[in-house]
Amino acid sequence: MVENEMKSSAKIRPHQSALLIAGLLTLTGLLVPMLHRVLLPIQYLDTHLHELSHALVAQITGAQVDEIRVNADGSGVTPVRGGIMLLIASAGYLGSSVFGAAMIYFGRAEKSARFTLITLAVLLAFSMLVWVRGDAIGEVSGFGWIAALVAAAAFLRGNALLLCCQFLGLQQCLSSVEAVFQLVKITAGMEVHSDASIMQDATGVPSVVWALTWCLISTALIVSTLKRSWHPAKGKLTQ
């Protein structure tokens, strides 16, 4: 009986297979420039969460957040004054990965997955009302994602809900890792204004070192979270 239970828990469930396939397709899209535009809506969500992470840590460390801008090309910026720049600059890439890891982990059961999607929508709504300004694409994409998250939480059930929550979480993690890879390429060849260059100015440590560090941390977070969340929450297995 114990052996049968172990086999049952080790079996890949339908939404997990779909998650793996979606992850591979996303990774392919991130690495192939011609397919990158297909993932732009996901990139908007990643950028909103990236900039929100900067803003939240800025507030916690006593900084003044001027605004958040999410641009049509998927880039973003959050000007701040004061605070602990060492933490604020690191919060973007790592923050979006933490958001993604949380969505994967809590997406194991219906109740927690639904709560996670609603919580994310509330955080985005707060960001939109308080900080997001300027670019029309940034504002439209933000409210669009709020509506999408609420709709998913309200209407999806069973494996569809789990897949939605974990899929969006995986996209955040993959987008964060891919963004850091791009940053590594840029900072290794030329100096540009970026989170890594801000860290270099603040600490004297080369920007490429910071970019590589964030990439390694994000990758480790993905692996660790997928390993811990592969099995459903105890007593809440969804067939």
For the chain, 239 residues long, give each residue's pLDDT as a single digit of tens: 434 433 444 455 665 666 666 666 666 666 666 666 777 888 899 899 999 999 999 999 999 999 999 998 888 999 999 999 889 988 988 898 899 899 989 988 999 999 999 999 999 999 999 999 878 888 899 999 999 999 999 999 998 999 899 889 888 887 767 666 666 666 656 555 678 778 888 888 887 888 888 888 888 888 888 777 766 555 444 43
Q: Is residue 151 part of a domain?
A: yes
Q: How far apart are CA 109 and CA 41, in angstroms?
A: 26
Q: Is residue 228 part of a domain?
A: no
Asked if 204 and 86 count as a contact pair (C-beta separation under 8 A), the reply is no
Count of CB atoms situated within 10 Å of the CB of 195: 23
Q: Is residue 204 part of a domain?
A: no
Question: What pTM, to 2 d.p., does this model score?
Answer: 0.81
Q: Is residue 1 part of a domain?
A: no
Counted domains in the chain = 1
Q: Please give the pLDDT value at position 198.
A: 82
Domain that holds residue 161: 16-70+82-175
What's CA 211's distance to the chain center, in Å?
A: 16
Handedness of CA 123, 125, 126, 131 (dihedral sign): positive
Nearest to 105 by CA among 43, 151, 170: 170
User: 3-state DSSP call for residue 68?
Assistant: strand
Q: Is residue 11 part of a domain?
A: no
**Residue whose tokens read 């992850």:** 23
Q: Is residue 211 part of a domain?
A: no
**Residue whose tokens read 């993905």:** 222
- Give, for 76, the enclosing helix (H) or strand (E): strand 76-77
Q: Is residue 148 part of a domain?
A: yes
Q: How far apart are CA 107 and CA 117, in angstroms?
A: 9
Q: Is residue 212 part of a domain?
A: no
Two tokens at 55?
């803003």
